[in-house]
């Protein structure tokens, strides 16, 4: 199965008014990186970077001034994703922006069944959280010390490591790289194991002397001690 793990950086949070300014993509084949990547900076077509967004990713209007508009790189992006599933953390954010960009140039939206949200997957795996990308890196022992600011390709690289770990780790991915991928879905009920009574009770661990000494101790305590009722 072919998947593209990706991340975007944007001018702000509103996918109707704001624009994608960076996209980073990493190709997986049978849950293992192939080495193919796509990394683009994109001119937001007159939309200024919001100060709050600038504080997160550090991409300035001046830096973006000579970058191509989305319409000029849309075909390259679509070709890279062709035939693959889209894997993103909090995918509704990234897909909202990507589909809005596609709509502006007359391309169809990505079908929802092609999208894998690693945040939803993490919440099922770790319901007590936290499940941010940084928190998941800590959980799985993935080094993200070089992540001082968000960056689309860097975040996609970290997410790739996290995603592989959530699917069973790199050893599982290596095993799947040379065989056909088989998906087995099991319900929670199927994973519950009922433990019945032992056919033979365990042998008594206390000797007769131990039991007698305990009885004498309870008698000495006297009164309405809780141990008398046991």
Domain parsing of the chain, residue ranges:
2-186
pLDDT value, residue 227: 52
Contact 140, 162 (CB under 8 A): yes
The string of pLDDT tens digits covering residues 93-135 is 999 999 999 999 999 999 999 999 999 999 999 999 999 999 9
Q: Is the pTM higher than 0.85?
A: no
Domain 2-186 falls in which CATH fold?
Answer: Nucleotidyltransferase; domain 5 (3.30.420)
Q: What is the DSSP letter of 43?
A: B
What was the pLDDT predicted at 212? 80
Banded pLDDT at 69 (limits 50, 70, 90): very high
Distance in angstroms (rounded) separating the CA atoms of residues 8 and 22 = 5
Catalytic site residues?
A: 150
66: which 2 tokens? 């000579």
Q: What is the pLDDT of residues 179-215, one digit of tens each?
A: 343 343 444 454 455 556 666 666 666 777 777 877 7
Does pLDDT of 18 surpass 70?
Answer: yes
Output 104-107 pairs: Cβ under 8 A, ≥24 positions apart: 104/70, 104/71, 105/70, 105/71, 105/74, 107/74, 107/78
Region of 131 (left: φ > 0; alpha: ψ -120 to 50; beta: rest) is alpha
User: Measuring CA to CA, which residue among 44, 53, 50, 56 is closest to residue 19?
Assistant: 44
């Amino acid at each position: 199965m072919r998947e593209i793990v990706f991340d975007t950086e944007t001018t702000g949070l509103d996918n109707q008014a704001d624009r994608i300014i960076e996209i980073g993509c990493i190709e997986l084949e049978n849950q293992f990186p192939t080495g193919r990547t796509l990394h683009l900076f994109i001119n937001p077509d007159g939309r200024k970077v919001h100060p709050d967004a600038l504080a997160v990713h550090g991409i300035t209007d001046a830096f973006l001034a000579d970058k191509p508009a989305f319409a000029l790189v849309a075909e390259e992006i679509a070709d890279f994703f062709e035939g693959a599933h889209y894997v993103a953390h909090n995918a509704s954010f990234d897909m909202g922006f990507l589909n809005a960009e596609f709509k502006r140039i007359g391309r169809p939206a990505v079908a929802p069944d092609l999208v894998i949200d690693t945040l939803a997957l993490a919440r099922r795996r770790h319901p007590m959280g936290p499940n941010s990308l940084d928190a998941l890196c800590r959980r799985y022992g993935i080094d993200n010390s070089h992540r001082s600011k968000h960056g689309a390709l860097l975040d996609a690289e970290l997410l790739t490591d996290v995603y592989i770990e959530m699917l069973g780790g790199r050893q599982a991915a290596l095993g799947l790289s040379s065989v056909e991928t088989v998906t087995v879905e099991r319900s929670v009920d199927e994973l519950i194991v009922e433990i019945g009574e032992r056919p033979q009770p365990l042998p008594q661990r206390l000797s007769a002397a131990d039991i007698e000494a305990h009885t004498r101790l309870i008698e000495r305590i006297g009164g309405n001690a809780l141990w008398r009722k046991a």
